[in-house]
Homo-oligomer: A and B are copies of this chain.
């Protein structure tokens, strides 16, 4: 009936770890200031044992109202959602939640830069897709998934390496700061 949280948190978290490592690298080099937002938790009960730190003994995960990551890069507000799938030929749309679409539309409305980072584990490829482009596709498709080939054509492959694990800011430079070069 119960299981350890460890298996929970490691489930499909490889992409998140890669992005967190990349953000740490970017922060240490003063390239950008981007963080993963903490998962919101509804705390119901806390114990305060003497001479020990407060222990939360009852809490529940809350549905986040926004996306995974935000921060500032080259003076611009950056906001994105990361998803990975084991699917070979398509990306299932149930993975993108309505509140994430709504939030990214607002990001763009307010002049921020919004995108998705989508990893196809089977192909070992990670794409950056502009939020407006993917949302338009989602809102105009009558299927429950988007073909892998669509990401090849409309996304930009993110270069993987050691430092950073995912050089996604290179793609951000190309897509959103082209005129400045």
Contact = CB atoms under 8 A, between A and B. Distances in A.
A65 interface: yes
A55 B60 contact: yes
A174 interface: no
Contacts of A33: 103, 106-107, 109-110, 112
Nearest to A73: B110
26 contacts: A1-B47, A2-B46, A2-B47, A4-B46, A5-B45, A8-B54, A27-B106, A33-B109, A33-B112, A38-B40, A38-B41, A41-B56, A53-B60, A54-B61, A55-B59, A56-B56, A56-B60, A57-B58, A59-B59, A72-B77, A72-B79, A72-B112, A73-B110, A75-B76, A75-B111, A76-B77
A106 B34 CA distance: 11
Interface residues of A, number: 54
Contacts of A74: 110-111
Interface string A1-45: 111110011000000000000000001001011010111110111
Nearest to A112: B72
A143 interface: no
A58 B60 contact: no
Interface in A53-101: 53-61, 64-66, 70-79
A181 interface: no
Contact of A110 (B39, B53, B75): B75
Interface of A: 1-5, 8-9, 27, 30, 32-33, 35, 37-41, 43-50, 53-61, 64-66, 70-79, 103, 106-107, 109-112
